[in-house]
Amino acid sequence: MARRGGSTGTDTMPGATTRSLAPRDGNDAGGGKTEAAPRVRLNVLEGADAGATLEARRPRVLVATHPACDLVLTDAAVSRFHLAIGPAAEGRLVLRDLDSRNGTRLDGVPVLAAPLASGAVIAVGETRLRFGVADEPLAVPVAMTGCCPAWTCCHALAW
């Protein structure tokens, strides 16, 4: 199949412009107001990736084996998209199992969704993670409608 855009090797139409949707470090995406959101911190305590750490750069965090995830684990018992951590409507952080094949445990209890507290231990496959919140919060753009922070807005990506 021939690519559009001639020999430039791009998949855009001639004359089309593109821009990245990824947040720029130090700047919010829309140039408007921002609100503080908790910054997730995960430490791998046990398992093949013991010692790994994640300090989130966005409000919602994905943990799994897929390379597109925020915390990529090499544990064979972990699903490609295993769990997500993100804010609930009231801003409290919640863990959600993403229909993983081996399940998720929070402090030893199997869960599909549960609120998180600092120090909680999350078990996925043979891996154990300690959940925490970093001292420095995230600066999250206020939704375009101005109705609420982007990370809690009804217009944000659905879980």
User: What is the per-residue pLDDT across 80-131, written as a single tens digit (0 to 9) for each?
Assistant: 999 999 988 777 899 999 999 999 999 999 999 999 999 999 999 999 999 9
Strand, coil or helix: what is 7? helix
pLDDT digits (tens, 9 = 90+) for 70-84: 999 999 999 999 999
pLDDT of residue 89: 77
Going by C-alpha positions, the residue among 91, 98, 140, 151 that lies closest to residue 115 is 91
The torsion of the CA quartet 117, 90, 157, 146, rounded to 10 degrees, works out to -140
Q: Which of 128, 122, 91 is nearest to 105 (CA)?
A: 122
At 24, is the pLDDT very low, low, confident or very high (cuts 50, 70, 90)?
low
